[in-house]
Structure 1
């Protein structure tokens, strides 16, 4: 698992309670796409909204959003910073 620190708050990019944040469908989908080299990159936790789960491929070139229903949105409307 990736232990990148969140730049603004110093928190881990992947919270230690990740299983509690993901829906059952997201957990199943994450396990399935990990078999293809994808991994969890970070989780954004906006207030009063479901977490935004960002995954990336093995090369780090492609990213996607792991939707609540387990689908992977390969064209996310999300802004990433370096």
Structure 2
């Protein structure tokens, strides 16, 4: 039974990752693939009504974050406030 739970968790993670990436532009997805090689992780995506999704990536140190714009560029000064 233990192995079954392990598979369930992995599927859930894969589904969560796919859900986060859903609706991102091709430019964002390309940039995300590159950034992941450099230690950045897509943590969440804000989805404001009637606006484009706003993906937020964190560096592996957990202290820095950036917003990935629709054209694939990074915005380090987005004005986004992250609660601790």
Separation in structure 1 between the aligned mates of residue 46 and residue 31 of structure 2, nearest angstrom: 18
The alpha-carbon distance between structure 1 residues 26 and 59, as it changes in their structure 2 partners (threshold 3 A), is same
Q: Gapped runs of 5+ residues in structure 1?
A: 4-13
- Between the two proteins, the alignment pairs up a number of residues equal to 70
Aligned equivalent of 2:9: none
- TM-superposition CA deviations, 1:33-63 (whole Å, max 9, x none): 1010001011111111111110010101110
Cα distance in 2 for partners of 1:34, 1:47 equals 27
Runs of 4+ in structure 1 over 6 Å off: none
Distance 1:28 1:16, change over 3 A: closer
Query: Can you give the 5+ residue segments of structure 2 that lack an aligned partner in the other structure?
Result: 1-12
CA radius of gyration, larger in: 2
TM-score, normalisation: structure 1: 0.76
SS of 2:22 mapped into structure 1 = helix
Greater share of helix? 2
CA RMSD of aligned residues (A): 1.7
